[in-house]
Amino acid sequence: MRLSKLNLLFGLVTLCLPLVLADCPKRTMLVPRNKEFLDLCGSEPNDTGSPKNDKHPCFRLEANNLHNVELQDFRPDHKELDESAMIVKDGDLTHFTPRDSSKAFLIIWNGSGSRFVYSPSDRPGCGEFSLYTGSEPRWRFVVKGEHGDMMDTDAYMPSPSVLICSKWFTIRLAQDAAYVPDDE
């Protein structure tokens, strides 16, 4: 009797597991590479240590992280990038930099559908950014450079791409329950 229950359980798991897994969004599992990150970026914005390349873009996330994201190459085919394309500082996954800053990339946050696009510029130390919040209401997306240059968008106010020049960029992606757009 006990063996038949185990066989039944195993059979159900075998049948149902592919159905459960099929509904999961793609996810890029990022592995911290602290030494590489510190060499390229230093530990924080305005760090007195000198990174190898003062024009290589570095990013800090506020109010979110890269735990549930998908990385893609930002070309027409949107090829999925493997985890080695992005260097993260530590297990918090809030500080990151692309391994190759000459390539555009797309980050998709699976929970909100928000999308962040970075495209390198011909001007050293500058990047072109596009932000999309998806259809989820009340998500706000802000990118700021070290010198105060910024752009923001939400589901109600699409934003064109913007050129920002900085070594460090702060990205804030958060749900703002108090935010009500003017047209509501």
Residues of the chain with pLDDT under 70: 1-25, 48-49, 76-78, 135-137, 154-159, 177-184
Q: Where are the domains of the chain?
A: 25-175
Extended beta strands in the chain, E state: 58-62, 69-73, 86-88, 95-98, 105-109, 115-120, 126-132, 139-145, 150-154, 162-165, 168-175
Distance (Å, whole) CA 37 – CA 86: 10
Distance (Å, whole) CA 57 – CA 113: 24
Predicted confidence (pLDDT) per residue in 80-99, tens digit: 777 788 999 999 999 999 99
In contact, 181 and 160? CB cutoff 8 Å: no
Distance (Å, whole) CA 156 – CA 181: 7
CA angle 166, 107, 27 (to 5 degrees): 145
Tokens at residue 17, please? 């597991």
Residue type, 44: E
pTM over 0.85: no
